[in-house]
């Protein structure tokens, strides 16, 4: 069954041209011109026939007039129906509308024949407009595609296509321009609008050395960025590819209706034939034209347009609402599947925590003041790019940081160096044990990560380093439980003690740490043995890719997440907020609710009018209004999802 698309006088519709038609046709008033011409001719004909009752407007003149009214809207449908028949698809909506309207002309009901096709055309135009609106949030992402890049080559900037910029080159972005490629900010700071990428309208301030994404809009000052990804690998290119392919992956509901439509259409066609011819054997005063008229009404109302268009339209609306909120689904299937999840597995770092270390507490030894401890430690860590070193360097300090020399990294343990003539050690407990340095007993009771410091082979203090929870993490876990997620589990490669502590803070009862990727995968596969569990896994790292692929729904944090995780996942959260999982579930449930409302509405009304038409209690005008009316109600109901504020 073809999807109803736009009504056009010069385009034969088929499945292959569907997306192309939606994207490139209907330029202005031209798409409405055939329907307008038919409407004017139909109204004029009715006035000539029934109001003015002109004597010449009879027989062949009347027939020719209504044929002229029929052609602008009828010819494209007749041609599409003939093309479908040649392609082996006989029972399409084009076939139904063609038979019904030609039959109306055969029995002399010319105005009704024109009206059926005219209302069908108008309905198609409304459907097309609704599809464009529903897909608007998705298609708006295409406007993010940067067209030019200003690249530093030689001593001046050259304007070129983003696809022609190499990794390592420096690009300049002026105020109001889109960043064309992913890279590292060279300028001291930048204020960026990431609304179209993440759904967040609040400007984001980026400091020197941090990552910036293609598609972001520069709000203040001219900035320079060193490119670290080719255009085809950039965040915006990845998002566009996901969006362009999302609607091609059909949900089970949508595929079911397609299959039913292929069975339903020939059945109603044969039933219409039965209504027309079987009464010959049972009715004494059989009049062929009367029973043909009833059969034609039956055909008109049986057209499954409302079902075929409103279901994909509901999913388009859901996908669009999700993308507007910074959630990218790789297909309508996962929009459905997310609503069924009852078991949620979470990674820790970068998923419920920020993935950014911060110094929580400082414990100097009794004979060393806090500032001396930090001056010494920061001198040693100043040359390191490790996340822990960056967390230490972010601390406030009185006075200047002294210079460290002879810095040596001891693999897996920490650093040693000379600061102001003294040997300094900074690292984990095993580093101090290597130098036979004793540590106080309370150190062993701290579950968070520690940086232990020794000066001249004597313990000098320690720092507690911890990753921060995301602001919405705790509230999100509580809400997910209330929404019916029966089991929430945390699996992490971090220390088991740290993992359990974070899980306890979030109210998660089941947690395991110290897991390798294969250990996580084993845990997921064990859970999947219970066929009643629908499992979603949320992660962000390369090591999460196997688990994302194995779970029923893989959800990747798209901001901090690795490319491998994002490519493997079924759902991508651009804002890295756990609360977006809740929004995704709500959007999926809203889409399902609207789709089933449309299914019940369409079938209910059609059955009533079909029965009425078969028993002669409905006219073709009523059939047309019922069919078009149901389609329009279904469309209006489907597009609501894009305007809802429930998430």
Task: List the catalytic residues.
Answer: 347
Measured distance CA(636)–CA(129) in Å, rounded: 11
CB 437 within 8 Å of CB 454: yes
DSSP 8-class letter at 107 = T
Cα torsion through 596, 599, 605, 606, rounded to 10: -170
- Residue among 250, 243, 244 nearest 337 (CA): 250
CB 581 within 8 Å of CB 479: no
Beta strands in 215-289 (DSSP E): 217-218, 223-227
3-state class (DSSP) for residue 47: helix
CB 193 within 8 Å of CB 203: yes
Using only C-alpha atoms, the chain has a radius of gyration, in whole angstroms, of 34
Residue labelled with tokens 């890049």: 149
Beta strands in 43-201 (DSSP E): 149-153, 156-160, 170-173, 183-185, 189-193
Burial class of 142 by CB neighbour count within 10 A (0 to 12, 13 to 18, 19+): exposed
Angle among Cα 341, 344, 345 to the nearest 5 degrees reads 145
- Residue among 4, 301, 11, 1 nearest 124 (CA): 4
Q: Where are the alpha helices (DSSP H) in 278-343?
A: 288-302, 305-324, 332-340
CB 477 within 8 Å of CB 488: yes
Tokens linked to 238: 């990845």
End-to-end CA distance of the chain: 34
Greatest alpha-carbon pair distance for the chain in Å reads 119
Tokens linked to 383: 């040359």
Angle among Cα 536, 542, 545 to the nearest 5 degrees reads 35
Beta strands in 507-595 (DSSP E): 510-512, 535-539, 553-557, 571-573
């Amino acid at each position: 069954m073809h999807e109803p698309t736009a009504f056009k006088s010069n385009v034969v519709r088929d499945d292959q041209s569907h997306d192309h038609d939606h994207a490139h046709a209907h330029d202005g008033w031209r798409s409405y011109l055939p329907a307008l011409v038919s409407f004017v001719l139909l109204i004029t004909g009715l006035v000539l026939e029934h109001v003015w009752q002109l004597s010449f407007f009879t027989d062949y003149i009347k027939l020719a007039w209504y044929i002229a009214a029929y052609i602008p809207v009828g010819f494209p449908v007749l041609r599409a129906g003939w093309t479908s028949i040649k392609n082996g698809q006989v029972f399409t909506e084009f076939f139904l509308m063609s038979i019904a309207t030609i039959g109306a002309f055969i029995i002399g009901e010319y105005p009704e024949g024109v009206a059926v096709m005219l209302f069908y055309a108008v309905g198609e135009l409304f459907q097309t407009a609704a599809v464009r609106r529903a897909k608007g949030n998705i298609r708006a992402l295409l406007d993010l595609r940067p067209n030019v890049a200003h690249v530093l080559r030689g001593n001046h900037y050259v304007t070129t296509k983003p696809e022609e910029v190499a990794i390592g080159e420096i690009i300049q972005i002026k105020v109001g321009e889109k960043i064309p490629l992913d890279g590292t900010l060279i300028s001291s700071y930048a204020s960026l609008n990431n609304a179209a990428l993440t759904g967040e309208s609040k400007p984001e301030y980026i400091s020197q050395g941090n990552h910036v994404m293609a598609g972001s809009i520069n709000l203040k000052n001219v900035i320079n960025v060193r490119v670290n990804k080719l255009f085809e690998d950039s965040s915006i290119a990845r998002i566009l590819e996901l969006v362009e392919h999302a609607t091609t992956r059909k949900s089970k509901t949508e595929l079911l209706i397609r299959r039913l439509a292929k069975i339903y259409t020939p059945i109603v066609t044969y039933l219409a034939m039965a209504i027309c011819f079987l009464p010959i054997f049972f009715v004494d005063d059989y009049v062929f034209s009367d029973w043909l008229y009833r059969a034609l009404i039956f055909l008109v109302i049986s057209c499954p347009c409302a079902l075929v268009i409103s279901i994909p339209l509901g999913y388009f609306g859901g996908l669009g609402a999700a993308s507007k909120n910074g959630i990218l689904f790789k297909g309508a299937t996962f929009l459905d599947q997310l609503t069924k999840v009852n078991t949620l597995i979470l990674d820790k770092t970068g998923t419920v925590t920020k993935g950014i270390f911060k110094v929580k507490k400082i414990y100097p030894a009794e004979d060393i003041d806090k500032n001396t401890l930090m001056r010494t430690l920061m001198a040693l860590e100043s040359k390191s790019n490790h996340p822990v070193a960056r967390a230490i360097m972010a601390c406030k300090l009185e006075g200047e940081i002294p210079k460290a020399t002879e810095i040596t990294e001891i693999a897996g343990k920490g650093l040693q160096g000379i600061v102001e003539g003294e040997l300094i050690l900074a690292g984990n407990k095993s580093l101090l044990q290597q130098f036979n340095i004793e540590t106080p007993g309370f150190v062993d009771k701290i579950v968070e990560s520690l940086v232990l410091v020794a000066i001249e082979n004597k313990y000098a203090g320690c720092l507690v380093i911890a990753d921060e929870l995301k602001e919405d993490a705790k509230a999100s876990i509580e809400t997910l439980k209330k929404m019916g997620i029966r089991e929430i589990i945390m699996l992490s490669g971090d220390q088991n003690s740290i993992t359990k502590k974070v899980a306890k803070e979030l109210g998660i009862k089941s947690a395991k740490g110290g897991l390798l990727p294969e250990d996580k995968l084993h845990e997921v596969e064990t859970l999947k043995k219970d066929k009643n569990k629908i499992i979603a896994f949320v992660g962000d790292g390369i090591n999460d890719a196997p688990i994302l692929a194995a779970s029923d729904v893989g959800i990747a944090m798209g901001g901090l997440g690795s490319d491998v995780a994002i490519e493997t996942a079924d759902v991508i959260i651009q804002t890295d907020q756990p609360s977006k999982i809740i929004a995704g579930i709500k959007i999926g449930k809203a889409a399902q609710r609207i789709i089933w409302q449309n299914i019940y509405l369409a079938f209910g009304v059609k059955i009533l009018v079909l029965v009425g038409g078969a028993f002669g209690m409905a006219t073709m005008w009523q059939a047309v209004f019922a069919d078009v009316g149901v389609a329009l109600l279904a469309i209006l109901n489907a597009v609501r999802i894009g305007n809802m504020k429930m998430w």
